[in-house]
C-alpha cells in the first residue's frame, strides 16, 4: 500500500454535516475513504477533459433496434476499424427488437472519445452512455 498523508481542511459546518450524512447513507466507513474516492474521480474527470495522451478505460453502453437498417454491420465495422481501442464487447438480446451492447475501450482519451462518438452517433442507436476511468498517477 502507498504511504498515506494526513492533511487538514477547513470546511463550513453545514457542508460537513450534509457530506457526512450523504456518505453514511452510501455506506462509506469513513470520511477519508469518501474523500479519496472524490479526489480520484476529480483526477479522472480532469484527465478525460484534458484529453490528449492520457490512457483511459471506457465502457460504452449502446441500446439499438437490430432490425433497423444496417446497424449491426455498421457497429461491427466500426469496432473492427478501432480494434486497437475496442478490447471487448458484450451483446444481450433484450427483447424482440432491442439489443444492448457494452463495448469496453482502452486507449488515449482522444482515441476513446473518437470511437465512442462514432458508435453513439450511428442513426439507429437509441441510447448511448459512456463511462470512463483511468489508472496511474495516484488513481
Ligand atoms: Ni441482439
End-to-end alpha-carbon separation of the chain, Å? Answer: 13
Q: How many CB atoms neighbour CB 99 within 10 A? A: 18
Q: Left, alpha or beta for 36 (phi > 0: left; psi -120 to 50: alpha)? A: alpha
* pLDDT digits 0-9 by tens, 91-125: 999 999 999 999 999 999 999 999 999 999 998 89
The helix/strand count (H/E) of the chain reads as 4, 4
The dihedral formed by the CA atoms of 109, 28, 18 and 131, expressed in degrees to the nearest 10: 20
**Residue 69 Cα to ligand 1 middle (Å):** 14
Ligand 1 centroid from CA 112, angstroms: 24
* CB atoms inside a 10 Å sphere around CB 3: 4
**Distance in Å, CA 30 to ligand 1 centroid:** 43
Question: What residues have a C-beta under 5 A from ligand 1, the ion?
Answer: 66, 93, 99
Q: DSSP E strands: which ranges in the chain?
A: 55-65, 86-93, 98-108, 125-133
**Which tens digits make up the pLDDT trace of 9-57?**
999 999 999 999 999 999 999 999 999 999 999 998 888 888 878 889 9
Amino acid at each position: 500500500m502507498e504511504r498515506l498523508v494526513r492533511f487538514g481542511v477547513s470546511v463550513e459546518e453545514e457542508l460537513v454535516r450534509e457530506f457526512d450524512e450523504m456518505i453514511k447513507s452510501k455506506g462509506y466507513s469513513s470520511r477519508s475513504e469518501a474523500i479519496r474516492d472524490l479526489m480520484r474521480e476529480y483526477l479522472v474527470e480532469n484527465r478525460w477533459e484534458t484529453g490528449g495522451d492520457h490512457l483511459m478505460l471506457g465502457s460504452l453502453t449502446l441500446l439499438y433496434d437490430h432490425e433497423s437498417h444496417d446497424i449491426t454491420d455498421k457497429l461491427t465495422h466500426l469496432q473492427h476499424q478501432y480494434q486497437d481501442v475496442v478490447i471487448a464487447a458484450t451483446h444481450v438480446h433484450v427483447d424482440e427488437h432491442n439489443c444492448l451492447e457494452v463495448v469496453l475501450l482502452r486507449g488515449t482519451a482522444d482515441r476513446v472519445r473518437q470511437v465512442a462518438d462514432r458508435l453513439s452517433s450511428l442513426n439507429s442507436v437509441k441510447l448511448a452512455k459512456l463511462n470512463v476511468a483511468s489508472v496511474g498517477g495516484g488513481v
